[in-house]
Amino acid sequence: MKVLIAIDSFKGSVSSIEASKAITAGIRNVYPDADIVSLPLADGGEGTVECLVHATSGKMVSREVTGPLGEKVMALYGILGDGRTAVIEVAAACGLPLVPEGKRNPEVTTTYGVGELIQDAIVRGCREFIIGLGGSATNDAGVGMLQALGFQFKDAVGNEVEFGGRILPEICSIDLSQVIRELNDCTFRVACDVDNPLYGPNGAAFVYGPQKGASEKVVRKLDAGLRYFAEFVQKEIGRDVHSFAGAGAAGGLGAAFSAFLNGQLEPGIELIFEKIHMEEQIKGMDFVITGEGRMDAQTSMGKVPSGVARLAARYHIPVIALVGSVSGDLSELHQSGMTSCFPILDAPISLEGAMESDRTLANLQRTAEQLFRLIRSVNGKWQT
């Protein structure tokens, strides 16, 4: 019996590594000698650093950086097993959870800490970067990050602008004389699964500003600032930072990575599959177990279970999803290669109760065990 466990985290409950261990324990209660490979996964968002560090035998690095409100915070990033690739989730330095609800204001929040993490990784010898966008509390078009890397954005009287989305209309010039020299040797691959442009009705401010604390009036101001910044960059360095898919990701960080760091925006799950050699890992397996906290229509749009199912389908390998809950029509997932999907809850319960870590782990182990008891009973191939 050969089983690959390739599961996402159950966000707010258990990590992908913890979920993998629980499922492994359940399978081994039925098949003690099963050949089980665990590849904890993420789609470029939360959990990306952990899964790539785990898969490549890398290491975690803790660094004090400037948080979204300008205060100091401790942020984690990873260095992969090759010693030269850093993986950074921007939310670690400028994420929404770092800002108390009453203080959320994208007019003042900054991405400066993201640049400090990049700088730290460069000092440690990294020249290749994997960046996970998403979950930011910011709307500064990545200007804060660039400032930390030596880009100087100056106002009409030659002073460097401060932090936050509100300063974008003040920018009148860019001074590149202090930019970190090593950036010329760096490559940035950016995991991005949204297609928002920088500004406009589908841009960063209008779509994501309200959840970051912006009122309707502030959203309009932020959007105007992003439009101004895009026109300024086009004029100054001849780069389009608005119209391509993903420019508006993470409050405009997508635009900054593309225009100033030559970053390549890519679907997160495909980037991660490449780094962990997922296709090689999946060959020859009898079953693949995947899953996430909630499976719904969005799962088929670049999430871990859909990516795993499509890849397994190439080799005609059954894929079973274990999930916290299921909602809506899953026909697209089945068409893409998902064999079956099983919620792990065993009784009606509140959302808060369902997300308790110990309960989730116990439910994952129990459900995996029951599934493989069924598999053993109906298929003589795996009777022993």
Q: What percent of the chain has pLDDT over 70?
A: 97
Residue 103 has pLDDT above 70, yes or no: yes
CA–CA distance, 118 with 200 (Å, rounded to integer): 29
- pLDDT band (50, 70, 90) for residue 384: very low
Q: Which residue has the tokens 């001074």?
A: 175
CA–CA distance, 210 with 339 (Å, rounded to integer): 38
CA–CA distance, 98 with 111 (Å, rounded to integer): 12
**What pLDDT was estimated at residue 301?**
56
- Amino acid in position 299: T
Least confident of 162-176, 238-252, 283-297: 283-297
**What pLDDT was estimated at residue 383?**
52
CA–CA distance, 384 with 379 (Å, rounded to integer): 10
Residue 83 has pLDDT above 90, yes or no: yes
The predicted-structure confidence for 197-219, as pLDDT tens digits, reads as follows 999 999 999 999 999 999 999 99
Q: What is the mean pLDDT of residues 306-310?
A: 90
**What pLDDT was estimated at residue 153?**
97
Q: How far out from the chain centre does Cα 376 lie?
A: 36
- Amino acid in position 166: R
pLDDT averaged over every residue in the chain:
92
> Could you give the domains of the chain?
2-41+298-382 (3.40.50.10350), 48-268 (3.90.1510.10)
Residue 381 has pLDDT above 70, yes or no: no
Q: Which residue has the tokens 């790539």?
A: 52
The predicted-structure confidence for 135-194, as pLDDT tens digits, reads as follows 899 999 999 999 999 999 999 999 999 999 999 999 999 999 999 999 999 999 999 988
Residue 178, both tokens: 């202090």
| Higher per-residue pLDDT: 107 or 300 | 107
Residue 380 has pLDDT above 70, yes or no: no
Q: What is the mean pLDDT of residues 44-71?
A: 92
**What pLDDT was estimated at residue 294?**
81
Contact 118, 77 (CB under 8 A): no
Contact 203, 254 (CB under 8 A): no
- pLDDT band (50, 70, 90) for residue 44: confident
Least confident of 58-67, 75-84, 281-290, 332-341: 332-341
Report the alpha-carbon angle 51-97-217, nearest 5. 130
Residue 382 has pLDDT above 60, yes or no: no
Residue 60 has pLDDT above 50, yes or no: yes
**What pLDDT was estimated at residue 222?**
98
List phi, psi (to 5°) of 132: -100, 115
- pLDDT band (50, 70, 90) for residue 111: very high
Contact 46, 12 (CB under 8 A): no
Residue 304, both tokens: 């871990």
